[in-house]
A and B are shown apart, each in its own frame.
Chain A
Amino acid sequence: MPESRPTGEAPEAAGSPRSPRSPRSPASRRVHLPSAALAAIRRQAGAAAPAECCGALIGLLTERPPSSSSGPLTCEEMRVARVRPARNVAPSPTRYEVAPEEIAAAEVEAAEIGLEVVGYYHSHPASPPVPSPTDLEAAWPWYSYLIVDARTGELRAWRLAEDRSAFVEDDLRVFGDGGA
């Protein structure tokens, strides 16, 4: 279940078009992941263990207008089309860092198919898929961060709270045959 952050703001955007790039955290965000991508992330995490693995999420962020079910606030829909494994260049076994040239390559690959890099995933080889303080320190807004527990395969989706104080969990939905 998504934890929506209380914003305490007037629903000024209701009924008016709003960019999905709004700096304001949406009421909620759903992240749609193809089951094949889930399987690929799990495989990569298992092969990399005990090191961490990482990669880019290529997809599209759209916005669902306010509805009776979501209340007056918008809900973002992040659709992941494919995942792109990246080299982990972090010097430590309990850290990850996407090789800078792979960030650029992922952007190029996404642009070629009319999409964009909407987030990144990484594995926790020996702990639950919950963001660590290191993850928080390094995080960027807007991106979706998927974390997989390499031991169990459990996968959860997170996004940085606007004030950088914490991560907000997104509603991760796997679709396609053989989904989790």
Chain B
Amino acid sequence: MSVTVGIPAPLRGYIGGRAEVQVAPGTVGGALRELAAAHPQLRRHLFADDGGLRRYVNVYVNEEDVRWLEGERTPVQDGDTLVIVPSIAGGETPADLPELDRAELARYSRHLALPEVGEAGQRRLKAGRVLVVGAGGLGSPVGLYLAAAGVGTIGLVDFDAVDVTNLQRQVLYGESNLGQRKTDAAAHRLADLNPHVRLVRHDLQLTRENALAVIRDYDVVVDGTDNFPTRYLVNDACVLLGKPYVYGSILRFEGQVSVFDGRRGPCYRCLFREPPPPGLVPSCAEGGVLGVLPGIVGSLQALEAMKLLLGQGETLLGRLLLFDALALSFRELRLRKNPDCPVCGAHPTITELIDYEDFCGLRPAPAPAGDAATERPGLLAEAPIDADALPPELSARELKQLLDAGVELDLVDIREPYEWAIANLEPYGARLIPLGQLAEHLDELRDGRPVVLYCHSGVRSARALAALAQAGLVRVSHLRGGIAAWTADVDPTVPRY
């Protein structure tokens, strides 16, 4: 017995035309070095000058990519099959990218000093074309940083005029711009910042009719809008055209950033197949947003757009970054491509743009899950605990005991829908009423079963508890430590975030 190594066609000439050879067990690195020792001409095609595997050499052990195992240190045993698969790549030479003139060389000197950017990278930025959809809170830092960095073509999509309520966060604009078209005011400001940048104004609302024509001319699309129809429209158009989509969203004190690209990873629909029911997620106008938050999230979007143009670094493709400004914390969720995604999956059902207003407006709200608790078998036994005497605060274990004892509770998740999407207590009968909508449910909460509120860490639910108590609810409690405590103390299968 030994390890079988599958040799790709371009390398077979070095081993007498054979498609496979046998080597001794050990590690992937050891096996390939043994191979190179026996056939010295293979070495330069497999190993880089520093002795490591060339990045264009993919190795699979028993059909698993070793990059997801232990790389070169992945063990190979008798009977294992190791296959070398060539990665086919390349690209246009930087010599064909636009030249930098003397003024540009001076302007971008701090970029040129970075080996990861350098002159070639700066020329890539100059050749790059980025479409910024929405010249508002997110679009402001995106436009400013991309223009300052020397991205050659920046398209701005907006149909709005500058309003005084914008100035709290939309740093592209000032008092003198009030009433002006945003595309005009933004282009004026960015041209002043960097006259080497070509600015394209799209003074329109993206629709299914014009989106493909507008987006087609760009390399990267950055979404700075705050409504679901546009988000799905931009996502679908990017998937259909094969463009990377830099996603950002903000509300109150929290933000999200990711990079979607249906060709190489998940798209927005892989994450959120359908929009939440209308009205469930408040807009920034309704829910509010802290002024500096779009500055942070938009700057991250600009960063990702630049990395995409440069081809440098690890982008957020396949990762959703969650930012909490109050806690000052960043969290990260791994995203997976949905093979059944209706737009980027193997068998897409969406092959052209649809009516996104319709798609986002006519979806029925999901049925409340609150009754599930009463339907669970075994939990309908008599309740030895007086539900009217609930303490205002329950630990995760106490709550679990109550549920196990069959106490009928209205377990209300007051977080935002995206948080619900990440992790929830629906299996325990929870239902979602985002904090902003609790007031509308007061009567129903007052007349129903005893209420237990929960949020992520117990801060928001404590605040909501106080508000409900003030509104006259007596049979109400909250989960101390939130869903995070539930994961820690009761059910480790509930995802942390």
Chain A contacts to B: CB under 8 angstroms: 19, 21-23, 50-52, 54, 56, 87-100, 103-104, 116-118, 120, 122, 124-127, 130-135, 137-143, 145, 162-164
Contacts and interface: CB of A to CB of B under 8 A. Distances in A.
Contact of A135 (B11, B90, B129): B90
Contact of B10 (A19, A130, A142): A142
B309 A138 contact: no
B16 A52 contact: no
B10 A134 contact: no
Given A122-B90, A163-B44, A91 B261 contact: yes
Interface in B232-273: 242, 244, 261, 263-264
B442 to A, nearest CB: 50
A116 B300 CA distance: 45
B263 A89 contact: yes
Contacts of B94: 94, 132-133
A98 B93 contact: no
B347 interface: no
Interface stretch (B80-88, B199-207, B429-437): B80-88
* Interface SS majority for chain B: mixed
B90 A131 contact: yes
Contacts of A95: 89-92, 311
B180 interface: no
A40 to B, nearest CB: 18
10 contacts: A87-B242, A94-B94, A94-B97, A98-B87, A103-B87, A126-B92, A132-B90, A133-B93, A135-B93, A140-B11
Contacts of B129: 50, 93
A116 B13 CA distance: 14
Nearest to B58: A100
Interface in B89-140: 89-97, 124, 127-129
A138 B309 CA distance: 19
B155 to A, nearest CB: 14
A141 B87 contact: no
A83 B186 CA distance: 46
Nearest to A21: B13
A139 B309 CA distance: 22
Interface in B13-40: 13-14, 16-17
